[in-house]
A and B are shown apart, each in its own frame.
Chain A
């Protein structure tokens, strides 16, 4: 992908002769920056400068702020909603409450219920509701001009996918027993001599699942933004207002598509997580 961007970049810079190349613009929009100014900059300097355990650079970055924005939106939306739903015995007549209730029901009906036994649905709901709405708000917040898409970063999607992986292993080990889970990775009825071959494959498969989650969400959220930026950059590249008509229209189309993708990817991430964790409850 980077090579592709580089080649496009060199083509563009050779033609346009701009000071700021397109590659720089794209990279500026889509990569993380540690915040150095203001109050947070001071905190970063004074308290978070040293790396935690030598690896984790805990300085607050733009993406961390975006994560917090999404989290705060979640809290602002759902804590009052919970109170309203609890108080409205016959269902609230408010459109705002019903909108979120529909989405919560959607998570219940489409994500959790098909993948979990009836008894565990209620226990599994909070995690998948959180995943769905957190990813959704991260995706949507990134579409607001001036903000960034937290989920368009491999570290963020990897963090969420690692929780799914831990969920799969944790739920599996609790439900099937610590050893039973690892033994259960190999399907029953497999001839004995295949087991040494199957076991590593299943282990790799176990890790590929969250890896696929990571890359899917990241790539989907990044690709749309790259296209939007490139469309807009066409104006600067051709140095013509007339190109603006087409490029802004095209970029608006992609933006609308991104709204859809934001929802779909949140659903896919939550649904696949539910599927993986749900299926690890039983040996296959």
Chain B
């Protein structure tokens, strides 16, 4: 035990007690002034970080769900749009055809009417011409009759006039 009293391996009870006193004082002061707030703050932060990570994870899942929903809606809308365009095209086609048909029919109608009117006008002109011819022939006949009229001539004349009329007719 002599070695504990002097030299490098000396254990000085006073220093030992000072160590304990110093350390315990330090422990108490730091406990109140430093460690307690630090440990609490670090725990609170760790808790907060954990909460943040959890909520971020929740948000991520929610976002993914919304994105999928959105994509779904987008593809549905695209399909609808395509359908609407296709419908519009076929409607337009139908409409075009019907308009064309109508136009064709009307054109035919107009042509028919024109033909009818032309033929009517022709008939009318012919009948007017006939009456004119009759009048003319009658005048000619009366002139001839006035000039020289014997019964034979008269008869031949009438005959001739009648034949002419027939041919005209």
* Residues of chain A having any CB pair with chain B under 8 Å: 1-2, 5, 27, 30-32, 51-52, 55-61, 63-64, 67-68, 71, 74-75, 78-79, 81-83, 85-86, 89-91, 101, 104-105, 108, 122, 125-127, 129-131, 134, 150, 153-156, 158-160, 162-163, 222
Chain A: CB-nearest residue to B39: A125
The reply to whether A2 and B8 contact each other, CB–CB distance below 8 Å, is yes
Q: Which of A56, A130, A163 gathers most chain B CB within 10 Å?
A: A130
Given contacts A58-B17, A71-B26, 15 further A-B contacts (CB under 8 A): A2-B8, A5-B8, A31-B10, A58-B18, A64-B15, A71-B22, A82-B33, A86-B37, A86-B40, A122-B43, A130-B26, A150-B19, A155-B19, A156-B15, A162-B16
The reply to whether B16 and A156 contact each other, CB–CB distance below 8 Å, is yes
Closest Cβ–Cβ distance, residue A154 to chain B (whole Å): 5
The reply to whether A27 and B19 contact each other, CB–CB distance below 8 Å, is no
**Given the complex, which residues of B lie within 8 Å of A122, measured CB to CB?**
39, 43
Contact of B12 among A57, A82, A90 (CB under 8 A): A57
The reply to whether B8 and A163 contact each other, CB–CB distance below 8 Å, is no
The reply to whether A126 and B35 contact each other, CB–CB distance below 8 Å, is yes
B window 4-29: CB within 8 A of A: 4, 7-20, 22-27, 29
A154-B38 in contact given A159-B16, A160-B19 (Cβ < 8 Å): no
Residue B45 CB within 8 A of the other chain: yes
The reply to whether A126 and B31 contact each other, CB–CB distance below 8 Å, is yes
B interface secondary structure, majority:
helix
The reply to whether A126 and B7 contact each other, CB–CB distance below 8 Å, is no
**Given the complex, which residues of A lie within 8 Å of B20, measured CB to CB?**
159, 162-163
The reply to whether B17 and A56 contact each other, CB–CB distance below 8 Å, is yes
**Given the complex, which residues of B lie within 8 Å of A67, measured CB to CB?**
18-19, 22-23
Contact of B26 among A75, A90, A153 (CB under 8 A): A75
**Given the complex, which residues of B lie within 8 Å of A51, measured CB to CB?**
14
Q: Give CA–CA (A91, B48) in the complex, Å.
A: 11
Q: Give CA–CA (A279, B27) in the complex, Å.
A: 22
**Given the complex, which residues of B lie within 8 Å of A61, measured CB to CB?**
12, 14-15
**Given the complex, which residues of B lie within 8 Å of A79, measured CB to CB?**
30, 33-34
Closest Cβ–Cβ distance, residue B157 to chain A (whole Å): 137
Contact of B10 among A55, A125, A154 (CB under 8 A): A154
Residue B42 CB within 8 A of the other chain: yes
The reply to whether A27 and B30 contact each other, CB–CB distance below 8 Å, is no
Residue B41 CB within 8 A of the other chain: yes
**Given the complex, which residues of B lie within 8 Å of A30, measured CB to CB?**
8
Closest Cβ–Cβ distance, residue A31 to chain B (whole Å): 6
Q: Give CA–CA (A68, B26) in the complex, Å.
A: 9
Residue B130 CB within 8 A of the other chain: no
A154-B9 in contact given A126-B36, A163-B23 (Cβ < 8 Å): yes
The reply to whether B23 and A31 contact each other, CB–CB distance below 8 Å, is no
**Given the complex, which residues of B lie within 8 Å of A160, measured CB to CB?**
19, 23
Closest Cβ–Cβ distance, residue B70 to chain A (whole Å): 32
Chain B: CB-nearest residue to A57: B14
Closest Cβ–Cβ distance, residue B99 to chain A (whole Å): 72
The reply to whether A56 and B14 contact each other, CB–CB distance below 8 Å, is yes
Can you spell out 19 A-B residue pairs with CB atoms less than 8 angstroms apart?
A55-B13, A59-B14, A67-B18, A71-B26, A81-B34, A82-B33, A82-B35, A85-B41, A91-B45, A122-B39, A129-B35, A130-B27, A131-B23, A134-B23, A150-B19, A155-B19, A156-B19, A159-B15, A160-B19
